[in-house]
């Protein structure tokens, strides 16, 4: 997958604890049917071995769908399964180190809440930013909410794609119009939905509208 | 550091939560003065960023002492700081993957409790085994105790060096005589000692006696 081909429109982050599907693989398969354009595997509460094995299995599914697989935090697991990239937060392995380990062709995403973090991430070699939390979320109750104004300032400060994250659902995504985002990242709005495929389809439609507006 | 030069006699595993020293670096410095021959950085309760930054600082100290630095579990952090190797447990990234990522020259250690695990680790490219817990330990209250007989069976089953671990102190280390071990790994016996250097020195003396016996 060439980096320039990456479509950030609907970026799914997995969460084993929130999902109704039997396995992460099932959830991802259904989400891809609904039109998810990118998948991040996030496994905070399992062993590194289980994370690695799940990543191996999910990689086959995302490859078949032609959708990039991003690994949260663990650069070694990304390397081991030849994932398309990693996503690092401000407390994870530094983006510059991730770039050194992964080389120029892999996708590196960085979580940023401020213009300063956004600029540093871009300098350190990030390919995209995850900005948020945009809304109060069930997943991270204590996450600070990023204002729409800060999102716009970040958009103006960097050239790389921006994915908004945090509490985004079909009924609030329109609040993000005119912010210049390239896509939205969702966890519970898709992964915890009764019908994952239709939840993804609805959201993908909303985000496309937003981007065209 | 050439692998063949590695001295497994007294292998220190760090534990931020158990130590009296102000910083992991201080504890490691003192332990090296006492004669620790190998250091494993184990940081279960801190962020990957902090683990990476600590590893960078400790690497300078172990390099100066000419002692190998092993990183627990995180192959990416080992790569990022150019550590001498990694140690993986049965729930961590598989040893064969670690070998693939690290190449032939880095040290890979694997925790093994049974002959089967020991043989598999050797086949997968492990350079040494950590076998235990040999005694009930304050660090891992729930860890299963490995019998001296099982340790001897493992010794007979593989050719790679064996480091015994788990609850080992100056007053019980002699129970491990005639097991053919290459060294002992300690956490609290050194890291939680009032005088880290002298605790290390006493233990190193005991293990040398044991190996010569
Ligand atoms: Ni003695």
Give this complex's ipTM. 0.92
pLDDT number for residue A23: 93
Distance CA A104, CA A85 (A): 10
User: Looking at the complex, does the CB of residue B90 fall below 8 Å from at least one CB of chain A?
Assistant: yes
pLDDT number for residue A136: 86
Could you give the percent of chain A with pLDDT greater than 90?
A: 86
Token pair belonging to B68:
């190998």
Distance CA A174, CA A188 (A): 18
Say which residue, B24 or A21, is predicted with more confidence: B24
Return the biggest CA–CA distance within chain B: 44
User: Looking at the complex, does the CB of residue B46 fall below 8 Å from at least one CB of chain A?
Assistant: no
CB-CB contact of A189 with A20 (8 Å): no
Say which residue, A18 or A154, is predicted with more confidence: A154
User: Looking at the complex, does the CB of residue B75 fall below 8 Å from at least one CB of chain A?
Assistant: yes
* pLDDT of residue B210 exceeding 80: yes
Distance CA A164, CA A181 (A): 7
CA–centroid distance, residue B177 to ligand 1 (Å): 11
User: Looking at the complex, does the CB of residue A75 fall below 8 Å from at least one CB of chain B?
Assistant: yes
* pLDDT of residue A141 exceeding 80: no
pLDDT number for residue A143: 64
CA–centroid distance, residue B171 to ligand 1 (Å): 7
Distance CA A99, CA A154 (A): 22
* Residue written as token pair 């950590």: B130
* pLDDT of residue A110 exceeding 70: yes
* pLDDT of residue B13 exceeding 80: yes
User: Looking at the complex, does the CB of residue B77 fall below 8 Å from at least one CB of chain A?
Assistant: yes
Chain B residues with CB under 8 Å of A98 CB are 76
Could you give the percent of chain B with pLDDT greater than 90?
A: 86
CA–centroid distance, residue B200 to ligand 1 (Å): 12
Q: Do B97 and A80 touch (CB under 8 A)?
A: yes
Interface test with A, best of B42, B43, B80, B82 (most A CBs within 10 A): B80
Token pair belonging to A5:
């081909």
CB-CB contact of A150 with A114 (8 Å): yes
Of A49, A90, A101, the CB nearest to B94: A49
Distance (Å) of CA B186 to CA A137, B29, B152: 43, 16, 20
Q: Do A76 and B76 touch (CB under 8 A)?
A: yes
Q: Tens digits of per-residue pLDDT, B124-156?
A: 999 999 999 999 876 666 667 999 999 999 999
As a residue count, chain A comes to 213
User: Could you tell me the sign of the dihedral formed by the alpha carbons of A59, A60, A61, A64, in that order?
Assistant: positive
Could you give the percent of chain B with pLDDT greater than 70?
A: 97
Q: Do B49 and A92 touch (CB under 8 A)?
A: yes
CA–centroid distance, residue B206 to ligand 1 (Å): 4
pLDDT number for residue A139: 62
Minimal CA–CA distance to A15: which of A50, A47, A45, A57?
A45
Q: Which domains does chain B have, with CATH numbers?
A: 3-212 (3.20.20.70)
Mean pLDDT of chain A: 94
pLDDT number for residue A144: 78
């Amino acid at each position: 997958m060439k980096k320039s081909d990456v479509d950030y429109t609907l970026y799914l982050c997995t969460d084993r604890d929130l999902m109704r599907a039997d396995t992460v693989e099932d959830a991802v398969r259904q989400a891809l049917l609904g039109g998810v354009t990118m998948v991040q595997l996030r496994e905070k509460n399992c062993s590194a071995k289980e994370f690695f094995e799940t990543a191996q299995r999910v990689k086959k599914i995302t490859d078949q769908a032609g959708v990039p697989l991003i690994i949260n935090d663990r650069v070694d697991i990304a390397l081991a399964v030849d994932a398309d990239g990693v996503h690092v937060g401000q407390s994870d392995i530094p983006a510059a180190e991730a770039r050194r380990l992964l080389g120029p062709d892999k996708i590196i995403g960085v979580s940023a809440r401020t213009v300063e973090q956004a600029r540093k991430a871009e300098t350190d070699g990030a390919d995209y930013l995850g900005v948020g939390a945009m809304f109060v979320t069930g997943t991270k109750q204590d996450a600070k909410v990023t204002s729409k104004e800060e999102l716009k300032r970040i958009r103006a400060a960097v050239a790389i794609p921006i994915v908004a994250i945090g509490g985004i659902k079909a009924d609030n995504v329109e609040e993000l119009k005119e912010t210049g985002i390239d896509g939205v990242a969702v966890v519970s709005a898709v992964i915890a939905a009764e019908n994952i495929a239709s939840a993804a389809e609805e959201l993908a439609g909303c985000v496309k509208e937003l981007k065209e507006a």
